């Protein structure tokens, strides 16, 4: 079993101040695969002090110097990408194929995209006689989740460093192995001491202290809406910037006239991908009432075709949910759906055939669901899909928008112009039209209780910058 009892601070691996430890559990076996130290406020203070000392010199680096470091990070990441994929699979249960082709590759994509943004970004602009400069915000505390660990680490750390900020990262304590490898990557790439720091810990021990820390200028948090509210409250006294990417209950509107088998199959696979543990997963499938039964049959076929088992087996297409707490929550949500009268089409509370251990949940489909039911309103974060019939397109849009969330939405229509019209009316930060994939160059984030701020690409890069107006900086125009 691996042991990771040190934190990466000020360019070196340093022992934790306290004695608390935590076993990292492989969710496919329920057995420990590693042990990590859990930090406390003292460990955080040490890391923040290192980041604060490193900030002036790093912020003063020119574009070319920071680009050189970023390209070195990309090269080091490429050398370790298989190790990163295996770590993700071990810590949160993703099938190794998915961990290689999606999780690890997403981290690399964000690094490359950030380098592209940095290479062409205009940090200064002239407005009349005013010079408007965009400068790094300072020391950033980054709190990342367990569901897409490397995606979230890279899409926060890369733009923060590229902007000239220094960072302290607190990854999820239940999925810390890929973060520890990422720290090794940055060390091998020659990131200067103090520019990047990592402290493992739980929310009460490190996360709350990070949000409240007076020497942290910005907190970027990804996780549940409940935890995001706590972070914002803890940060309020120091009036720091808080960027949040939170929960979702994304609708997928299917318009009559589409290729129904292809569209419904795409919707189901997007929902069940990563064992349903994606904040932007389309977990509410809205279909015309006369297509409800046909759509349900297609979704059931997809669900029953997924193979659950050892994530390191190439034949496995669906892994377990990531930890015991999530396993209990998903089962509780399924039980609630059954209790409130949602019609179970497949799946349910019984263990799937095959695996005898692990946090495996059958792909579960509820049909004839009303949007007033808890199963259609609350984020499950597991392989659970609700099918909601609608009568008119106006009704579909109303149902789609009837949610406290607003992260993502999906529309499939017979022609692009039709899909565009619906997309304009959806209250969500992102809309996928006719099966389009996400674009790492475009903003990622949501409305309402799905958070504030944006990640990815140029807009995500700008989250780590302050705007300074220098009035009268430019020479006056000749009369």
- DSSP letters along 250-285, please? EEEEE-TTS-HHHHHHHHHHHHHGGGG--TT-EEEE
Which helix (H) or strand (E) segment is 330 a member of? helix 324-339
Q: How far from the centroid of its chain's Cα atoms is residue 140's Cα?
A: 17
> For residue 119, which of 186, 164, 64 has the smallest C-alpha distance?
64
pLDDT digits (tens, 9 = 90+) for 304-344: 999 999 999 999 999 999 999 999 999 999 999 999 999 99
Q: Is 336 helix (H, G, I), strand (E, B) or coil?
A: helix
CA 317, CA 95: separation in Å to the nearest integer? 6
121 burial via Cβ count (<10 Å: 0-12, 13-18, 19+): middle
Residue 354: the pLDDT is 84
CA 419, CA 255: separation in Å to the nearest integer? 9
Radius of gyration of the chain (CA): 23
DSSP 238: T
> For residue 178, which of 75, 102, 90, 310 has the smallest C-alpha distance?
90
Q: Give the number of residues written for the chain.
A: 479
Tokens representing residue 352 in the block: 């799937």
Tokens representing residue 433 in the block: 């039209």
Tokens representing residue 89 in the block: 């699979």
Which of 245, 378, 455, 462 is catalytic? The answer is 245
CA 151, CA 455: separation in Å to the nearest integer? 11
Residue 355: the pLDDT is 87
Which of 140, 279, 333, 386 is catalytic? The answer is 279
468 burial via Cβ count (<10 Å: 0-12, 13-18, 19+): exposed
CA angle 443, 108, 160 (to 5 degrees): 55
pLDDT digits (tens, 9 = 90+) for 402-460: 999 999 999 999 999 999 999 999 999 999 999 999 999 999 999 999 999 999 999 99
Strands 124-127 and 364-367: unpaired
Cross-strand pairs, 143: 170, 221
Residue 479: the pLDDT is 61
> For residue 376, which of 320, 333, 423, 325 has the smallest C-alpha distance?
333
Residue 477: the pLDDT is 73
Residue 394: the pLDDT is 98
Residue 478: the pLDDT is 66
Is residue 54 within 8 A of residue 192, CB to CB? The reply is yes
Q: Which residues of the chain have a pLDDT value below 50?
A: none
Is 393 known to be catalytic?
A: no
Give residues with Cβ within 8 angstroms of 384, minimum separation 6: 276, 283, 330, 333, 334, 337, 347, 361, 363, 364, 365, 366, 375
Neighbours of 163 (CB within 10 A): 26
Is 279 known to be catalytic?
A: yes
> For residue 436, which of 273, 299, 264, 266 has the smallest C-alpha distance?
266
Residue 1: the pLDDT is 87
């Amino acid at each position: 079993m691996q042991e990771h009892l040190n934190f990466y601070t000020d360019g070196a691996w340093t022992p934790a101040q306290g004695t608390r430890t935590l076993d990292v559990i492989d969710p496919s076996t329920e057995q420990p695969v590693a042990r990590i130290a859990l930090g406390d406020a003292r460990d955080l203070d040490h890391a923040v002090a290192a980041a604060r000392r490193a900030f002036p010199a790093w912020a003063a680096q020119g574009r070319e110097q920071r680009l050189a470091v970023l390209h070195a990070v990309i090269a080091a990441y490429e050398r370790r990408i298989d190790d990163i994929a295996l770590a993700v699979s071990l810590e949160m249960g993703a099938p190794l194929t998915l961990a290689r082709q999606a999780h690890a590759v997403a981290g690399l994509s964000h690094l490359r995209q950030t380098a592209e943004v940095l290479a062409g970004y205009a940090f200064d602009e002239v407005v009349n006689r005013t010079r408007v400069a965009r400068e790094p915000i300072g020391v950033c505390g980054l709190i990342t989740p367990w569901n897409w660990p490397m995606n979230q680490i890279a899409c926060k750390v890369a733009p923060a460093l590229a902007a000239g900020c220094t960072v302290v990262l607190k990854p999820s304590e239940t999925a810390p192995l890929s973060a520890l490898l990422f720290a090794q990557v940055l060390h091998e790439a020659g990131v200067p001491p103090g520019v990047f720091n990592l402290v493992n810990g739980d929310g009460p021990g490190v996360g709350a202290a990070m949000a409240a820390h007076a020497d942290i200028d910005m907190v970027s948090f990804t996780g549940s809406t409940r935890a995001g509210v706590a972070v914002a409250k803890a940060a309020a006294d120091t009036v720091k910037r808080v960027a949040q990417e939170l929960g979702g209950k994304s609708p997928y509107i299917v318009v009559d006239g589409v290729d129904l088998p292809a569209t419904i199959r795409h919707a189901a696979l997007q929902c069940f991908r990563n064992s349903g543990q994606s904040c932007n997963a389309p977990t509410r499938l809205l279909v015309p009432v006369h297509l409800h039964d046909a759509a349900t049959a297609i979704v059931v076929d997809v669900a029953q075709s997924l193979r659950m088992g050892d994530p390191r087996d190439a034949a496995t297409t669906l892994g377990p949910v990531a930890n015991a707490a999530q396993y209990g929550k998903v089962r509780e949500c399924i039980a609630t759906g059954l209790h409130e009268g949602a019609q179970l089409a497949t799946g349910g509370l019984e263990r799937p055939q095959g695996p005898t251990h692990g946090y495996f949940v059958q792909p579960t489909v509820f049909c004839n669901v009303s949007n007033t039911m808890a199963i259609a309103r609350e984020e499950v974060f597991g392989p659970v899909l609700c099918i909601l019939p609608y009568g008119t397109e106006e009704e579909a849009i109303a149902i789609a928008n009837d949610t406290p969330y607003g992260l993502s939405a999906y529309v499939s229509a017979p022609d692009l112009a039709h899909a565009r019209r619906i997309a304009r009316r959806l209250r969500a930060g992102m809309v996928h039209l006719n099966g389009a994939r996400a674009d790492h160059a475009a903003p990622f984030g949501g409305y309402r209780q799905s958070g504030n701020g944006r990640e990815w690409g140029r807009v995500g890069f700008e989250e780590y910058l302050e705007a300074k107006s220098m009035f009268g900086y430019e020479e006056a125009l000749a009369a």
